Amino acid sequence: MTLLEVRDLTVTYPNGAAAVRGVDLSLDSGSKLGVAGESGCGKSTLALALLRLLPAGTEVGGEILLDGEDVLKMRWGQVRAVRWAGASIVFQGAMHSLNPVHRVGDQIAEPILLHGGAGAAAARKRTGELLEQVGLPTARARAYPHELSGGQRQRVMIAMALACDPKLVIADEPTTALDVMIQAQILRLIEQLVSEQELGLIMISHDLAVLADTCDRLAVMYAGRVVEEGPARAVYEDALHPYGKALSGAFPRIGDPASRFAPRGLPGDPPDPSDLPSGCTFHPRCPVALDGCEVEDQWLREGAPGRRAACVHVGAAVRSTT
Amino acid sequence: MTTPGPLLSARGLHVTFPGRHGAPEARAVDGVELDIGAGEIVALVGESGCGKTTLARSLLGLVPPTGGSVSFAGKPLAYNSRALKAYRKRAQLVLQDPSGSLNPRHTVYEAVAEGLRIHGYGGDEQAAVAGALARAGLRPPERFFLRYPHELSGGQRQRVVIAGALVLEPELLVADEPVASLDASVRGEILALLLRLRTELGLSALVVTHDLGLAWNIADRVAVMYLGRIVETGTVEQVLTAPRHPYTQALLSVLPEAPGEPVVLTGEPPDPSRIPTGCRFHARCQVLASGEAEEAGVADACRTRDLEVLAGSGEGQVACHWARARVTT
Amino acid sequence: MTTDLVRATPRRLAWQRRRRSAVRFWKQYRTHRAGLVGLAALVLFALVALTAPLTVGSDVTGVTDAPGNPLEAPSTEFPLGTDRFGRDLLGLVVWGSRVSLLVGLLAAVLSVAIGAVVGITAGHFKGAYATVLMRITDWFLVMPTLVLAIALATVMSRSLGTVILAIGVTSWPTTARLVRAQTLAVESRPYIERAKALGGGHWHVMTRHVLPNVMPLVLAQTTLMISSSVLAEATLAFLGLGDPTVISWGGLLQDAREAGAVSAGDWWYLVPPGIAIAVVALTFTLCGRAVESVLNPRLGVAR
C-alpha cells in the first residue's frame, strides 16, 4: 500500500531560490527509495518539506500525502504528531544534531515522553530497547554525545528516529563523513530495521553506489527536479540521463580497467537555485546536449518499462543512445 | 627523472602524542617506512584515527617526529625554521576542506600569491599567479583575481587551493582527502587535474584518503594503514584487485558494488593509545575469528608476535602472519 | 571591468579591493540609524574642535584679560555665562573639546594597541608565554582601573602625556581578552595550517591571517574605548590629576567645584561641560555599536 505520495511539490525560499520545482514521488511501506543528487539540487529541502520543517516565509506548493492525508494542509497539532509518530528524519552530521550537554538516553526518551505520553519508567525501558535495536549496549544511555564515536552517534540518531514507531524514516546523508567500515555497519543496520519493521525509507545521498546497494528504487535529482527515476540497480548500472551516468561514473568500480587513471566527472558546477539556466537546466554541463536543449525544457518520460528520465535523448525514437 | 632514489622517504617514523590527564600516550604513527618516487602518485588509505593524517603532516614537517627520519631528495629533513621554510617551497599541502583552507578575507589573488610572498618571489608575481590559476583549470585567471572564496563553488575553491600550492612549482604535493567534501560530479574533475599535473609537471603526490575508489582512479601505488602502521603496500592493481591482508580484504568487501559477501568488521578502530600486542589487527581480524588462521598454524603468532615494519619501497608486501603462511605453503 | 584588470598590478588590485570593501562597509553602516546620528554628531564635534583656533582663539583661556565679570549668568554677550575669572564659558567649552577629544583618541588607540598586541601574541604563541601574559592581563582586569590610573597619574609628572599613558595602560585588558579569544578561533582554522605548510612563519601568520580577522573587533573596540577614555580623562581632570595648564571639560568641572558653583547654584558653570562629556561619550558609543554590528564576524556580515 502507498505510504507516501508526493505530487508536484514545489519549494521556493524567501530569497527567490527555487529549490524544488515539481517533484512527484511515491513510496510503499517496507520499500526503500534513494534520492541522489549533489549539493544545491534540492534533495535536503525535499526532506525538510516532507515534515514541514522549512523556515517561515518559504512557499510550498503541491501535495504531500502521508497515509492519504495532506501534510501541507494539516493543522500544527497534527503536523507535530506526524513529525514523530508518522515520519522522522535522521540528519547528516550526528555531532551537531545531538545536544552535547544531555545524556543520549534522555535525548532518545524525550520524544517518547512528549509524543507517546508514556511515564518515565516506560520511556527508560523503551530507550534501552531502542539502543539494543541499533546495536548499542543499554548502558550507553548514560553516555554524553562526545563520549561516543561517530558511528555510535549515528546509531543514537537512528534510535531517536525510531523512538515513536514511525512509518516513514527519512535518512539525509546518514553515512557521509563516516569511514567505509562504519558506513557499511550503519547501512546494514538501516536495511535490517526497514525489513523488520515494515518501514518506508527515503535515503538521500550523493553516492549513487551506496543508494543502489541499499535501495529498491532510485530518483536522481538535478536543479530541483527528478531527472531520472527507476529501479536502483538499473539506474546505477545503465543510467538514461547523462547526469545519472556522470553520477554513477564518479565513484569507480574497483577492478574496472576503464576507470584506471581516468577519473570521470562533469565540467562545471552545480547550478545556483536562484539563477537556473534556461531550457533543460542540465544543458551547460551536458556532454550530449543538442542545440534545442538551451530553450526546450524536459519532463520525465518513459524510457524503458518502469523507468523514466527527463532528457531529449530519452523516448521512443532515441532509445539507441543508451 | 634526474634524482635517483626516492624523492621523499620516511624511515622508521614514529609520532607519539602525550596522553591527556594521565592517559597513556597515543602512538599515532608507530614505525612507518614510505618512499615516494619522482612523478609517482601514492595513495595512503585507512580509516579515520589510523594515523594517516598525522603521517602526512609529519612528512611535511608540520608535526615533528618523535623517532625516525624523513628525507627529501636524498637529504634528511632538518627541523630549524630556515630549512623547513626551504622545504615547504618544494613540498605542498592540499587540505580536505577547501572552504576552511582559504582565508575568507583574502581574495583569490592574495590566496594564490601568499606562497610567493612568503618566499620572496622576485619575478612577475601577477604572471605567476595567473599561470598557476590557469594550470589549476580556472580560466581566464584574471576573472578570478578579485573574487572572494565565498563567491566560488566548492570545486573552484579546491582549484584555488591547488593553484596556491602550484605557484611555488613544488616537486611534491601532499593532499589530505582532496575530494572528500566536494560534489560527486566535481570530484572526477579535481582528480583528473591531479593526474594532469603529474604528466605535465612531473609532480609527485601523496594522497591521503579513506576512499579506495580514489586510489583506483589516480594512484600508482597504495599503502594501507592500520593503527599507526602500514599493513599492506604494493601497486594499486596488486593491492586492490588481489588484497592479501584481511584488513584490506574487509575494506574492499564492504564497498557497495564489491563481489562476494561483505565482511563487516565489528566495532570501531581501536585506540592508538592501547595498541594490542601481537598483530595489531588480531582483535578484529575475521581470518583469526573464523579459525582459518588456526588451520594455517599461525593463530598463536597472530596473538603474540608483532610483525616487522614493511619496507617503504615499491614491491608488494603484507604485514600478516596468515598471508605469509599461505604464500610459503 | 575585466579588461582593465588584465593590466592591473597587485598594488592596484589591493587598492581596488579595499575600495570595494569600504563601499560595502558604508552600505551596511548606512542602515544603522543610531550609528548615522552618532556619526553626524561626531563630525560636528570634530569640526568644532578643529576650527576652534579660528572661532574662539587660544586667548579665550587667558585669565588676565578676561572679558567679563566673574560668574556672570548667561546673557546675549556670554551665551553660557562666565567662569570664576570672568572668561567666556562657551569659548572654554569649545576650546576644551580639543584636549578632551585628543586625549580620548590617543588613550584609546594606545589601550587598544596594547590589548591587540597582547591578545594576538598570547593567542598565537601558546604555552608558558601565553600563560604568563594572561595572568598579567587578569591582574590588570581585577584592579580597579580608576584607582590604578590615579596612582599612575600621581606618581608621574603632570602633563597630557601622563594622562594618556595612565588611561592607556590601565584599560587594555578587556581588549586583550577579546582579541585573544578571536585569535584562538582564527588559529584553529585550516587556512592557518595551509599558511604554515606554505612556509609562513609566526610573523606571517599573525599579520596576514590573524590581524585582518581580529581587525573588525579591534576597530569596534577602539570606537567604544574612546568614549570611556573621554570619561576617564574627565574624571582624572576633575580629581585634579590632569595637566593644570590646559583647559579640558573635566578641568572645567573641577574649576566649577572649586569655585563653589555647586552650592551657589551657578548651573551654567557645571552643565555645559557635563553635557558635552556625556554627549561625546554617547556619540562614540553609538558609532562603536554600529561599527561592531557591521563588522562583527559572529553576526555573519563580516568582510
Strands of C18-164, DSSP E: none
In angstroms, the first-to-last Cα distance of chain C is 22
Return the CATH superfamily for domain A2-321: P-loop containing nucleotide triphosphate hydrolases (3.40.50.300)
Identify the structural domains of chain C with CATH numbers, from first to last.
25-53+90-299 (1.10.3720.10)
Mean pLDDT of chain C: 85
Antiparallel, parallel or unpaired: β A87-90 and A168-172 = parallel
How do residues B3-27 score in pLDDT, each as one tens digit?
A: 467 899 999 999 998 877 777 888 9
Q: Angle of helix C10-30 relative to helix B108-118, nearest 10 degrees? A: 130
- Residue length, chain A? 322
Pick among C191, C192, C205 to test the B interface (most B CBs inside 10 A): C191
Res. C192 pLDDT band, cuts 50 70 90: very high
Average pLDDT in the C115-120 region? 94
A265 touches chain B (CB under 8 A): yes
Q: What is the pLDDT of residue B232?
A: 94
Nine-digit cell at C149? 590610573
Q: How many CA atoms lie within 13 A of B23 on its CB side?
A: 13
Q: Which residues contact A28 (CB under 8 A, 6 or more apart)?
A: A1, A2, A3, A200
pLDDT higher at B118 or C85? B118
Looking up cell 600569491 gives B113
Report whether B286 contacts B260 (CB < 8 A): no
Across A302-320, b (16+ Cβ under 10 Å) vs e yields: ebeeebbbbbbbbeeeeee
Burial of C83 from C-beta contacts in 10 A (0-12 / 13-18 / 19+):
buried
Q: How far apart are CA C34 and CA A145, in angstroms?
A: 44
Q: How far apart are CA A262 and CA A217, in angstroms?
A: 29
Q: What is the pLDDT of residue A234?
A: 92
B184–A270 C-beta distance less than 8 A: no
Report in angstroms the alpha-carbon separations of B115 from A317, B74, B144.
56, 24, 18
How do residues B239-283 score in pLDDT, each as one tens digit?
A: 999 999 999 999 999 887 777 788 888 766 678 888 888 899 988
- Please state the domain extents for chain A: 2-321
Q: How many CA atoms lie within 13 A of C20 on its CB side?
A: 12
Report whether A217 contacts A31 (CB < 8 A): yes
Pick among B57, B84, B145, B208 to test the C interface (most C CBs inside 10 A): B145
Nearest to C197 among B60, B100, B125 (CB): B60
Short-list B140, B38, A296, B104, CA closest to C5: B140
Tell how far CA A291 is from the center of its chain. Answer: 33
Q: How many CA atoms lie within 13 A of A82 on its CB side?
A: 24
In angstroms, the first-to-last Cα distance of chain B is 40
Q: Would the CA dihedral through B248, B250, B253, B255 be positive or negative?
A: negative
Tell me the nearest-neighbour CA distance from B218 into chain A, angstroms: 5
Q: ipTM of this predicted complex?
A: 0.83
Q: How far apart are CA C162 and CA B245, in angstroms?
A: 75
Nearest to B185 among A38, A253, A262 (CB): A38
Residue of B nearest to C8 (CA): B126
Report whether C241 contacts C150 (CB < 8 A): yes
Tell me the nearest-neighbour CA distance from B103 into chain C, angstroms: 6
> Does C43 have pLDDT greater than 90?
yes
Mean pLDDT by 10 residues, chain A (322 residues): 90 89 90 89 88 88 90 86 81 74 88 77 89 87 85 86 86 81 86 87 89 91 92 91 89 85 84 86 89 88 88 64 40
Tell me the nearest-neighbour CA distance from C8 into chain B, angstroms: 9
